[in-house]
């Protein structure tokens, strides 16, 4: 067999051995476990808003998450982060006195937690 066939065979076996399909209940329970922080992500969405609407969006969200795991592909829009420099101490004009924090999309955090829960 050629390399593509081999890679597809390996990937399908890895996916079937370790990952199970994510249920709507898994998504709802995962979202409920997050803190109700009011900080927004790059899309101006906070976890509190997601918790309020989770029952309206759980079906398409579960579909996207399962598709992502099945294909081994993380959607580009979920990879976008915003990095903000936070001042620590000292001279404000020195970059060494700042630490970066990454603002990650809320939906990425949920998918990451769902994935980690399967490991």
Round to whole Å and give the CA distance between 108 and 1: 36
**Better pLDDT: 42 or 56:** 56
Tell me the per-residue pLDDT of 53-110, one tens digit each, with 9 for 90 and over.
999 999 999 999 999 888 888 888 888 888 999 999 999 999 999 999 999 999 999 9
Domain ranges of the chain: 21-117
What is the residue-wise DSSP string for 27-93? HHHHHHHS-------TTS--HHHHHHHHHHHHHHHHHHHHHHHHHT---GGGT--EEEEEE-SS-TT
> The pTM is what?
0.74
pLDDT at 92: 93
Round to whole Å and give the CA distance between 67 and 78: 14
Is the separation of the CB atoms in 81 and 103 below 8 Å?
yes
In 3-state terms, what secondary structure has residue 98? strand
């Amino acid at each position: 067999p050629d390399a593509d066939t081999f890679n597809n065979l390996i990937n399908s076996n890895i996916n079937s051995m370790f990952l199970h399909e994510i249920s709507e209940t898994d998504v709802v329970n995962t979202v409920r476990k997050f803190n109700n922080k009011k900080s927004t992500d790059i899309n101006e969405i906070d976890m509190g808003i997601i918790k309020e609407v989770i029952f309206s969006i759980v079906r398409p969200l579960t579909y996207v998450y399962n598709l992502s795991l099945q294909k081994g592909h993380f959607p580009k829009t979920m990879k976008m982060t915003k990095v903000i420099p936070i001042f620590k101490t000292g001279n404000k004009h020195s970059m060494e006195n700042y630490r970066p924090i990454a603002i990650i999309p809320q939906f990425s955090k949920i998918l990451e937690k769902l994935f980690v829960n399967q490991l």
